[in-house]
């Protein structure tokens, strides 16, 4: 931490001349370390559902004579496989985003289409819990970016809002402009997150309550995907929350100006 890693190469030209090449490897080392940690986390996270499926298959064999038990274990296996598929999907998505330049095809994006698409998909889950999902605010705003990545980010925020809220509550999505930024705010009346955890939830695989997150089918990757998508678009994601009262997540992306170039920060965080 704070140390600079230099890779030094020395070439002897003749008895009186040497060439010294020094390359700063600090950033490369940091990226390598992040990759290594990610790989360790990934294998750990994959072991849980794979182990569960193996165990369920074994139990099912033992219960082969009992059709009700077989049905029960088959259902559980299906749940675990769905979870595993979601996890693999998010791991692939996140590793794509961790590679600089994930945002290849930048175009003008209509925020209305992004929020409508994300809300339509999240509404199905919301309805099952009798949660009312409303979309409001400014229309006609635009940003530069990638449509499907933005839908994924907004969808993750909405899915969380629904997952961490009780039945018969409300989830609202509001679009507005703040200075030169388009702000998408997702507000819920759910369990909230205490101040000490608020920074950590954006870390990969971090969950406040692993048991609860598991019940909701959470992978612990949703918010780190949101963070990457925000950074790739030159924006950010923030949270305001109070335990027991609810949370508000804001995703801010520089607005596309009619005339201008995309205002994006080429330096991205890994």
Per CB under 6 A, the segment of 65-73, 116-124, 221-229, 261-269 that binds ligand ADP is 221-229
Taking the least distance from each CB to ligand ADP, the nearer of 81 and 240 is 240
Binding of ligand ADP by 49 (CB under 6 A): no
Q: Which of 208, 229, 255, 264 binds ligand ADP (CB under 6 A)?
A: 208
Cβ proximity of 204 and 221 under 8 Å: yes
The count of residues interacting with ligand ADP (CB under 6 A) is: 23
Task: Looking at residues 185 to 204 of the shown chain, list those that interact with ligand ADP (rule: CB under 6 A).
Answer: 188, 190-193, 201
CB of 207 to ligand ADP, least distance (A): 3
Alpha-carbon span 257 to 169, nearest angstrom: 37
Per CB under 6 A, the segment of 46-54, 99-107, 172-180, 212-220 that binds ligand ADP is 212-220
Cβ proximity of 253 and 115 under 8 Å: no
Binding of ligand ADP by 227 (CB under 6 A): no
CB of 100 to ligand ADP, least distance (A): 22
Taking the least distance from each CB to ligand ADP, the nearer of 60 and 161 is 161
Task: Looking at residues 73 to 132 of the shown chain, list those that interact with ligand ADP (rule: CB under 6 A).
Answer: none
Q: Which of 152, 189, 247, 250 binds ligand ADP (CB under 6 A)?
A: 247
Taking the least distance from each CB to ligand ADP, the nearer of 54 and 128 is 128
Binding of ligand ADP by 164 (CB under 6 A): yes
CB of 249 to ligand ADP, least distance (A): 7
- Positions touching ligand ADP (CB under 6 A) are 156, 160-161, 164, 188, 190-193, 201, 206-209, 213, 218-224, 247
């Amino acid at each position: 931490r704070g140390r600079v890693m230099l890779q030094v190469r020395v070439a002897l030209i003749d008895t009186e001349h040497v060439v010294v090449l020094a390359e700063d490897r600090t950033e490369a080392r940091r990226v390598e370390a992040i990759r290594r940690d990610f790989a360790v986390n990934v294998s750990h996270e994959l072991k849980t559902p794979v182990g569960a499926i193996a165990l369920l298959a074994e139990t099912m064999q033992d219960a082969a004579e009992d059709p009700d038990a077989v049905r029960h274990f088959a259902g559980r296996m299906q749940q675990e496989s769905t979870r595993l598929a979601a996890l693999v999907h998010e791991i692939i998505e996140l590793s794509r985003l961790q590679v600089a330049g994930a945002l290849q095809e930048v175009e003008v994006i209509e925020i209305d289409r992004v929020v409508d698409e994300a809300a339509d998909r999240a509404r199905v889950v919301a309805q099952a819990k009798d949660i009312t999902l409303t979309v409001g605010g400014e229309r006609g705003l635009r940003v530069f970016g990638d449509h499907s990545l933005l839908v994924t980010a907004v969808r993750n925020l909405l899915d969380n809002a629904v997952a961490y809220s009780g039945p018969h509550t409300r989830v609202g999505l509001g679009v507005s402009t703040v200075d030169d930024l388009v702000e998408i705010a997702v507000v819920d009346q759910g369990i909230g997150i205490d101040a000490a955890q608020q920074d950590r939830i954006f870390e990969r695989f971090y969950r406040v309550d692993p048991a609860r997150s598991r019940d909701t089918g959470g992978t612990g990757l949703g918010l780190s995907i949101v963070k990457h998508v925000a950074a790739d678009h030159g924006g950010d994601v923030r949270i305001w929350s109070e335990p027991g009262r609810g949370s508000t997540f804001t995703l801010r992306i520089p607005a596309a100006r009619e005339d201008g170039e995309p205002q994006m920060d080429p330096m991205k965080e890994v």
